Structure 1
Amino acid sequence: MFCKNCGKEIDDKAVVCIHCGVSTNSVQDNGGFGWGVLGFCAPIVGIILYAFWKETKPKSSKAAGIGALISVGAGILFYVLMFIIGFLSY
């Protein structure tokens, strides 16, 4: 096979190009909407994914982290509104 960075021939089982040092494994980072939904539905998972992926998959980690933040913010807003409604109805 050939290196995608420098174009030189390398071993088919190589993990790193011996000529330029670039990894032969390509990691997809599309920042999909699904990661944001997962972060919203399970904020702990979203925060963990953000922490582990922030260097290797920045777009996906950002989507999961934003989903988690929106979920936590919506939860806090819900409890504040319930407190105000309960206080006013008493």
Structure 2
Amino acid sequence: MFCKNCGAPMDDRAVVCPKCGVPCEQTKSEQEVVDNGGFAWGLLGCCIPLAGLILYFVWKDSKPNTAHALCVGAIVGTVINVISSIIYGILIGMSSY
């Protein structure tokens, strides 16, 4: 990496230029993390609730929107699974008579 002010070579981890002292600019990808939540993450949490909960705890601080989508998806998926299991159990119980 080179200083944008004086052109001196710099270490990639440098915060300021060692020659002129001007702060170096970080690239945009280093500055911000993409956190748009998204339907796909919620759907993953719904289809695989355990994965959704694990990823929620992994990303709750660094990607709160995505973590929220995963958590909501996991809760919805769990509720759907429980209701489906209850209905299935009732139907199987009724058909055995």
Q: Is TM > 0.5 for Structure 1 vs Structure 2?
A: yes
Give the alignment partner of residue 11 of structure 1, picking from 16, 21, 24. 24
Bigger Rg over Cα: 2
Q: How many residues are aligned here?
A: 74
| RMSD over aligned Cα atoms | 2.1
Instruction: Give the Cα–Cα distance (whole angstroms) in 1 for the partners of residues 26 and 36 of structure 2.
Output: 26
Gaps in structure 1 of 5+ consecutive residues: 2-8, 15-23
Give the alignment partner of residue 78 of structure 1, picking from 62, 79, 84. 84
TM-score by length of 1: 0.70
TM-score by length of 2: 0.65
Give the letter for the 1:11 counterpart.
C
* Aligned equivalent of 1:52: 58
Matched, 1:25 2:38: no
Instruction: Give the Cα–Cα distance (whole angstroms) in 2 for the partners of residues 28 and 13 of structure 1.
Output: 16
Give the letter for the 2:32 counterpart.
S
Gaps in structure 2 of 5+ consecutive residues: 5-21
Give the fraction of aligned pairs with identical amino acids, expressed as a percent. 35
* Aligned equivalent of 2:69: 63
Moved over 3 A (4+): none
Query: After superposition, what is the alpha-carbon deviation per residue over 1:23-53, rounded to whole angstroms, capped at 9, x for unaligned?
Result: x520111111111011112212111111111
- What SS class does the counterpart of residue 45 from structure 1 fall into? helix
Structure 1 residue 73, shift from structure 2 partner: 1.0
